[in-house]
């Protein structure tokens, strides 16, 4: 491996992974091993059972990285082409390794079976290869060095591959390690769009010579991924310095880190403060309480919720004044606030959260189009409200609305003000 951070490619071989029923998950395990040693994956691909395609894929991949890892295509049947493709791609000759045949025969014999003739294919080896014995199956893997590059060839059966990665690949990576590893930190931001985040990052980019950051939008939140390669102390210090700058930019828009999810962050806060919450929701149909109760231990702080899909339910479940609904309509700021207050009173909690809106596709009007939603949080003294507009599919609308409601609760708890820090 050169001094430069090494790069890797992965090829998964097998037409079954080109259909609609399966995805290649072997590559995730290979990637995890690579990342632990600071090796960047530049590409991965899935190819079928045509020899020429596989030969081309191997040549292409080895040109673009220092390490090539393949999984699959090592079985005994005609469409197991990985060996043949490697021979053709690199101009290598194959020969028979009698000891492999003996081992496969012994495996079959141990079950009282005779080895099928086809399995002999699995004993075809390259002179230059290091054979990797497979204790979990019949197909051995191997390691080749070609023009200063490393090619690792593993079977595709997941539990065989896992064992071989642990047994051969990780120790090899360890032996090659240069002290460099990859460290990561993820900052999670709520209440901004992806482009809103980019906009706020402009001074950061300028200060850092436009060095790229990975920004991921997923489920009504934005993740900012920081990473640094190198020794542990410097890498962690470098990440900490960047994190501090980003905290200065985003303040309390950052709701969590790494594996945090909003509902768990809320749960931690409530538990620490020994406070409780209840919900009264309309258009989100129970998703808000469902997300809160996805967290283990939530019965300690969540007392219950009302799903008020009709005006009547808003009155009898959450105690909303019929006159208020009459005057402002079910989808309005006063009704959202009354739902939050009603939930608090009904369940005797510290906080109440209310949501009312129009998920669509029906029910919209010019004044209140589909996608309109009012969210509110109340405690015994005060209430906060937001009006938002997300014209999207029902499940997405519901997710975004509950995310905003949880975030409003979070900021409400933080210090009694929802102003930005």
Q: Residues 352 to 411: which contact a copy of itself by CB under 8 A?
A: 359-363, 389, 391-396, 398
Residue (104 or 126) nearer to a copy of itself, CB? 104
Question: For a copy of itself, which stretch binds (CB under 8 A), given 47-55, 143-151, 334-342, 413-421?
Answer: 47-55
Query: Cα–Cα distance between 347 and 225 in angstroms, integer?
Result: 40
Of 106, 116, 176, 380, which one interacts with a copy of itself (CB under 8 A)? 116
* Shortest CB 161 distance to a copy of itself, Å: 13
Rounded least distance, CB 120 to a copy of itself, Å? 11
Near a copy of itself by CB under 8 A: residue from 46, 173, 187, 336: 46
Cis peptide before 361 (omega within 30 of 0): yes
10 Å CB burial of residue 232 (0-12, 13-18, 19+) is: exposed
Q: How far is the CB of 359 from a copy of itself (least distance, A)?
A: 8
DSSP state of 5: P
| Dihedral sign for Cα atoms in the order 226, 227, 232, 237 | negative
- Contacts (CB under 8 A) with a copy of itself, residues 322-351: 346-347
Do the beta carbons of residue 364 and residue 358 sit within 8 Å? Answer: yes
Residues 121-140 binding a copy of itself (CB under 8 A) are 136
| 96 counts as binding a copy of itself under rule CB under 8 A | no
CB of 128 to a copy of itself, least distance (A): 26
Site for a copy of itself in 293-312 (CB under 8 A): 293-299, 302-310
Q: Are 301 and 330 in contact (CB under 8 A)?
A: no
Burial of 139 (0-12, 13-18, 19+ CB in 10 A): buried
User: What x/- string results for residues 235 through 274 when contact with a copy of itself is judged by CB under 8 A?
Assistant: ----------------------------------------
20 lies in the site for a copy of itself, by CB under 8 A: yes
End-to-end CA distance of the chain: 47
Question: Judged by CB under 8 A, does residue 37 bind a copy of itself?
Answer: no
Nearest-angstrom CA–CA distance, 14 and 10: 13
Which C-beta is closer to a copy of itself: that of 20 or that of 93?
A: 20
Only one residue has tokens 């079985």, namely 75
- What does the alpha-carbon distance between residue 184 and residue 341 come to, in Å, rounded to a whole number? 41
For position 66 contacting a copy of itself by CB under 8 A, the verdict is no
| Selected range binding a copy of itself among 113-121, 167-175, 320-328, 376-384, rule: CB under 8 A | 113-121
- What's 128's DSSP letter? T
Q: How many CB atoms lie within 10 A of CB 275?
A: 14
């Amino acid at each position: 491996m050169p001094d430069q951070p090494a790069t890797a490619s992965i090829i998964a071989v097998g037409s079954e992974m080109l259909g609609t029923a399966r995805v290649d998950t072997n590559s995730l395990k290979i990637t995890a091993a690579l990342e632990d040693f600071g090796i960047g994956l530049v590409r991965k691909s899935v190819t079928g059972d045509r020899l020429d395609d596989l030969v081309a894929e191997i040549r292409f991949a080895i040109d673009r990285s220092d390490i090539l890892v393949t999984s699959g295509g090592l079985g005994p049947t005609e469409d197991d082409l990985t060996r043949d493709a490697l021979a053709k791609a690199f101009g290598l000759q194959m020969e028979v390794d009698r000891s492999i045949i003996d081992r496969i025969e012994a495996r079959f014999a141990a079950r009282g079976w005779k080895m099928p003739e086809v399995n002999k294919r699995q004993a075809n080896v390259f002179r230059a290869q290091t054979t990797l014995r497979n204790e979990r199956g019949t197909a051995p893997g191997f390691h080749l060095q070609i023009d200063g590059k490393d090619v690792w060839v593993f079977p595709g059966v997941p539990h065989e591959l896992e064992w071989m990665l642990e047994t051969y690949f990780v120790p090899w990576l360890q032996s090659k390690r240069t002290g460099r590893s990859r460290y990561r930190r993820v900052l999670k931001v709520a209440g901004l769009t992806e482009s809103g985040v980019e906009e706020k990052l402009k001074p950061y980019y300028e200060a850092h010579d436009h060095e790229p950051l990975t920004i991921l939008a997923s489920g009504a939140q934005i993740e900012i991924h920081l990473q640094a390669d190198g020794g542990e102390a410097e890498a962690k210090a470098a990440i900490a310095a960047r994190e501090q700058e980003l905290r200065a930019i985003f303040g309390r828009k950052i709701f969590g880190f790494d594996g945090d999810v909003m509902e768990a962050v809320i749960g931690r806060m409530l538990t620490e403060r020994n406070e409780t919450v209840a919900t009264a929701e309309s258009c989100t149909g129970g998703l808000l309480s469902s997300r809160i109760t996805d967290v283990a231990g939530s019965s300690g702080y969540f007392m219950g919720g009302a799903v008020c899909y009709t005006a009547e339910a808003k009155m009898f479940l959450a105690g909303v004044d019929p006159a208020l609904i009459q005057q402002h309509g079910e989808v309005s700021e006063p009704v959202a606030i009354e739902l939050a207050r009603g939930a608090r009173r009904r369940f005797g909690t510290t906080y109440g959260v209310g949501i009312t809106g129009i998920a669509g596709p029906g029910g919209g009007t010019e004044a209140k189009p589909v996608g309109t939603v009012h969210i509110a949080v109340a405690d015994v003294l005060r209430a906060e409200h937001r009006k938002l507009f997300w014209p999207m599919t029902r499940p997405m609308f519901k997710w975004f609305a509950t995310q905003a409601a949880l975030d409003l609760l979070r900021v409400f708890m933080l210090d009694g003000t929802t102003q930005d820090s």
